[in-house]
Structure 1
Amino acid sequence: MQGRKRMMRITDLHCDALFKMQRDPKLSLREADADGKLDVTLERLREGGVSAQVFAIYVPEDKPMEPQTALHQAELFWSKVLTEPGVRLIRTAADLEEAERTGALGALLSLEGVDCLREQWWSLTLLYRLGVRLLGLTWNHANWAADGAMEPRGGGLTRAGRRLVNECEKLGILLDVSHLSERGFWELKELATRPFFASHSNAKALHSHPRNLTDDQIRALIEADGLLGLTFVPFFLAGAQPARIDDVLRHVEHICVLGGSSHLAFGSDFDGIETHVAGLAHPGEYPALAEALLKRYPESLVSGFLGGNATRFLMDNLPQR
């Protein structure tokens, strides 16, 4: 069992370490510098078997909603993540293939909510050049592009949001529907010409939270050859707290019942949460999840859940070179 777990390569579709490093410039991914304030460190990523990690740019509401705030986090990605030994920037399928071949930790850059871009299209192009390959239109609330999942009016995409979808598809940026309103989800589905994904959402049928996806949305992701990253946010998993690994497994099983076993991945939201699933407090504890999965599913499926499905999705949909 232990040998099998070591062989599995894990991809995590969402963490907020950059946000924390922007708030506290002393922090880095090194364990000593993290000072217990970061869930995600290099040591924990390696201990957990993580081979690819998505680092999100998230601009909180108390920061200036201007492109330079996002660009600052992109600079932190370059100066505090990509400078670490054994870390490789993933911008293309060829980059990911090389990281897999060499055993490097693949680092991808995403943007969680476009509020700060303020329809300044040059900033989208610049972020693409800096490595952004994944993009969510909103955080929880409304912005110039769309309504978020927790915006009471439940609107969809604006005219500028529709342009944003088109611009991202032209550049080669993959669209993330986590945080997007349900109406926005369906409008994006109709507009998109390429597969899209949810980086960190769970099944609403099991726990009715606005950030979770309905069965119809999950089926639509599957039909679009997309990807669903189940998340470890405790209050997305279950009403009773603390949430446990068994709660994660319930959502895994639900996605499988809907036919999504080859479209299922994980997006932990580490460093974006203040409480954790018992036994899943940081990436170094991924082996506990792997062990629990292996008790219920064949190794071929578990390997897909932990990394294989996400790798296939990225290989197929990132720019090739």
Structure 2
Amino acid sequence: MKVVDLHCDTMAELWYSQWDNKKPMELEKNSLHVDLEKLRKGDYLLQNFAIFVNLGRNLDPFESALSQIDIFYREMEKNKEKIRAVKTYEDIETNIQEGKICAMLTVEEGAVCKGKLSFLRILYQLGVRMMTLTWNFENELGFPNLRSKSSQSKYEYEFEKGLGLKKKGIEFLIEMERLGIIVDVSHLSDEGFYDVLQYTKKPFVASHSNARALCRHPRNLTDDMIRKLAQRGGVIGLNYSPNFLEEGETEEDCHSSVALMASHARHITNIGGIECLALGSDFDGIEGKLEMKNCSMLPLLLEALEKEGFKHSQIEAIFYKNVLHLYKELLI
């Protein structure tokens, strides 16, 4: 079955392999969760490649993003007979007809723009079509969903009021919608989520988030968020990370299994409907005990969804059709 994945960190890993003076890795074949060989085995139609910048490394965020974009396009050129970048829905249709895997550029960390709308417009011209407003740090646009703990439990957090989007973040929302850059609320604070709901008109996504009702990780979505995102016509990418799927005393206690993914899928679709769910692996940004060890193993998830009672047409919707429907509407 065809696969569309809303989020992976593979390009960042390729870049960091050069930055950290390791042996440089390539997209064709590597030791990561995602490479071309594994994508072909997994029957991928489209992979979103996130340009990810960790502000904690004290690198210039815009320059770092440009360096990763340079790697992205060099890899596309080297492998143009197998994979091709897409910017519009028409590009996706062309790649499908020609048997090419689609690659779409996204950004994980709105701080790459350094608060400048001109930088956002440059990223659009370079092919970026989706962006999270934050990662795990406060930035010029708003606040992430990392809050102070209210108890010794790993999963109990204070909901700090007023830490949503800043004025600059709202300006970015308006410009992103005008340009055609899809707003991604994964990593954004709870109040920021509702700010997005208030200040946007188009569908938006949570590219790699699960259900907080099943696992109290602060990055997961509440039922109300799932419902409202679905009502807007957006999609939620199922995250494969162990600590987004189950609770444990430590992260090492958590497992990533396809059965747990199927449980989150059932809950999300019960709340928001089948049309709101997609895949957002977070491959090459996650670690731990993974039953699906790389992107070639998606048939395991298909089987788990069948066991959960999903029909074939519903699994097709989750695996690729829901995202394609969204992209047909938003990629202009």
TM-score range, shorter chain: over 0.9
Q: Secondary structure at the match of 1:142?
A: coil
> Which residue, 294, 307, 323 being the options, matches 1:282?
294
- Evaluate the alpha carbon distance shift between residue 82 and residue 217 of structure 1 in structure 2; reply closer, same or farther with a 3 A threshold: farther
2: CA distance, partners of 1:79 / 1:286: 27
Q: Decide whether the 8 Å contact of 1:157 with 1:184 is kept in 2.
A: yes
1:262 aligns with 2:258: no
Gaps of 5+ in 2: 19-23, 149-159, 249-253
1:28 corresponds in structure 2 to: 26
SS in 2 for 1:14: coil
Tell me, which stretches of 5 or more residues in structure 1 are unaligned?
1-7
Q: Give the letter for the 1:144 counterpart.
A: E
Q: In structure 2, how many angstroms separate the alpha carbons of the residues matched to 1:28 and 1:108?
A: 17
Give the alignment of 1:133-148 within 5 angstroms.
133-148=129-144
- Residue 116 of structure 1 aligns to a residue whose secondary structure is helix
The code of the aligned residue for 2:324 comes to T
Q: What whole-Å deviation, never above 9, does each CA across 1:299-320 have from its counterpart, x for those lacking one?
A: 100111111111111111111x
Counterparts of 2:288 and 2:34, CA distance in 1: 14
**Residue of structure 2 aligned with 1:193, choices 195, 201, 213:** 201
Instruction: State the secondary structure of the residue aligned to 1:210.
Output: coil
1:29-54 per-position Cα deviation (integer Å, ceiling 9, x unaligned): 122xx2x2x11010101101111000
Q: CA RMSD in A?
A: 1.3
CA–CA separation in structure 2 for the residues paired with 1:101 and 1:293? 28
Query: Does the 8 Å CA contact 2:38/2:296 hold for their aligned counterparts?
Result: yes
Letter matched to residue 171 of structure 1: L
- Find runs of 4+ consecutive structure 1 residues off by over 3 angstroms: 151-154
TM-score, structure 1 as length reference: 0.92
CA contact (8 A) 1:203 1:212 kept: yes
Range with bigger deviation, 113-122 or 243-252: 113-122
Mapped partners of 1:249, 1:81: distance in 2: 33
Moved more, 99-108 or 175-184: 99-108
Shift of 1:151: 4.3
The within-5 A match list for 1:1-321 is 8-25=1-18, 26-31=24-29, 34=30, 36=31, 38-60=32-54, 61-84=56-79, 85-152=81-148, 153=160, 155-240=163-248, 241-278=254-291, 280-295=292-307, 296-319=309-332
Report how many aligned residue pairs link the two structures: 307
Percent of pairs with identical residues: 36
Determine helix, strand or coil for the equivalent of 1:15. coil
Shift of 1:242: 2.2
CA contact (8 A) 2:236 2:279 kept: yes
CA contact (8 A) 2:8 2:281 kept: yes
CA-to-aligned-CA distance 1:115-170 (integer Å, 9 cap, x gap): 13211222211111111000110002211101001144450111111101011111
Is the 2:9–2:50 contact (alpha carbons within 8 Å) kept by the matching residues of 1?
yes
The answer (yes or no) to whether the contact 2:7–2:47 under 8 Å persists in 1 is yes
Counterpart contact for 2:176–2:183, Cα < 8 Å: yes
Amino acid at match of 1:208: R
What SS class does the counterpart of residue 107 from structure 1 fall into? strand
Contact 2:130 2:184 in 1 (8 A): yes
| Larger mean Cα displacement after TM superposition, 93-102 or 40-49 | 93-102
Which residue identity is paired with 2:276? H
AA matched with 1:223: Q
Deviations 1:209-235 (A, max 9, x none): 110000000000110000010110110
Contact (CA 8 Å) 1:13, 1:53: kept in 2 or not?
Answer: yes
Deviation, 1:197, is 0.6
Cα distance in 1 for partners of 2:304, 2:222 equals: 25
Contact in 2 for aligned 1:65/1:115 (Cα 8 Å): no
Give the TM-score of the pair, scaled to structure 2. Answer: 0.89
- The question of whether the paired residues in 1 share the 8 Å contact of 2:76 and 2:84 is answered with no
SS at match of 1:106: strand
